[in-house]
Amino acid sequence: MASNRIRGPVSFPRPKLPLAIGAAAAFAALVVLPGCDLQETADTDNGRTLFVEKCGQCHVLTEAGTQGELGPDLDAAFKAARETGMDQDTIEGVVESQIEIPRPAEKDSPTYMPANLVEGTDAQDVAAYVAAVAGVPGVKPPIPPDAGPGAEVFLAQGCGSCHTLSELGEIAVGTVGPNLDDVIPGQDPKQVDQSIVDPNATIAKGFPSGVMPDNYGDTLSPEELKDLADFLVESAGSSK
């Protein structure tokens, strides 16, 4: 990881991409043999990076700092599953099965999860990562030790699932929205603040409008918006 700060937002889109929507309980309903120690050699660091990049824009997963709303909340789904006795190996198998053969979209739903978003050992790594953290009480996203309040806002809002910010290393590797290291430098906090609260006012080249939520002016306090904008201006591009 380069440094411990987060860069500024030009847009923090929560994409309207076709991904799985189904009851969270559907995960727990799959039949998978428990207790198999499925992937003892899985690379959960790689799994986390891939999850943020490929899955985070559609799923909530606290440890990954993702807040997607198109697919099931994985923390809620697997918290309930753990409470009924499902062990980590079984959860791994459930996740890997869902990656390979996603639950069908509900009737007349325009959203669905494509099969095999990741494959082979990458799929195993994602499954092992999700199984290790989803629904685990007290789990939080890894925040750099010297990260300020603006960085914490960035992570809490799941911005890293849609934007890349090299200051945060693999915590922020999203590609749905603009790379903040490219678009923030040269802007002042007021411009960055405007991009957060009114993301459709100026659309970055190559990205569609209407993707990033436009309610941050309501959901974030003035202090949080200031902290976030200041942090992004200070850190964007600083690791290049």
CA 154 to chain centre: 11
CA-CA distance, 181 to 177, in Å (whole number)? Answer: 12
Residue pLDDT, tens place only, 37-49: 455 789 998 998 8
Task: With a cut of 70, say whether residue 2 has pLDDT above it.
Answer: no
Q: Between helices 88-100 and 120-133, what is the axis angle to 10°?
A: 140
Residue pLDDT, tens place only, 205-219: 888 888 888 899 999
Each domain of the chain, given as residue ranges in start order, spans 25-133, 149-235
CATH topology identical between 25-133 and 149-235: yes
**What's the pLDDT at 22?**
36
Residue pLDDT, tens place only, 49-75: 888 888 887 888 988 878 777 888 999
**What's the pLDDT at 185?**
94
CA-CA distance, 32 to 95, in Å (whole number)? Answer: 10
Q: Is pTM beyond 0.85 here? A: no
**CATH domain 149-235 topology:** Cytochrome Bc1 Complex; Chain D, domain 2 (1.10.760)
More confident residue, 12 or 49: 49
CA-CA distance, 101 to 54, in Å (whole number)? Answer: 16
Sign (positive or negative) of CA dihedral 62, 64, 65, 69: negative
Residue pLDDT, tens place only, 137-192: 988 877 776 778 998 888 878 788 788 998 887 778 778 889 999 999 999 999 99
Q: Do strands 66-67 and 60-61 pair parallel, antiparallel, or not at all (unpaired)? A: antiparallel
Domain 25-133 has CATH 1.10.760.10: yes
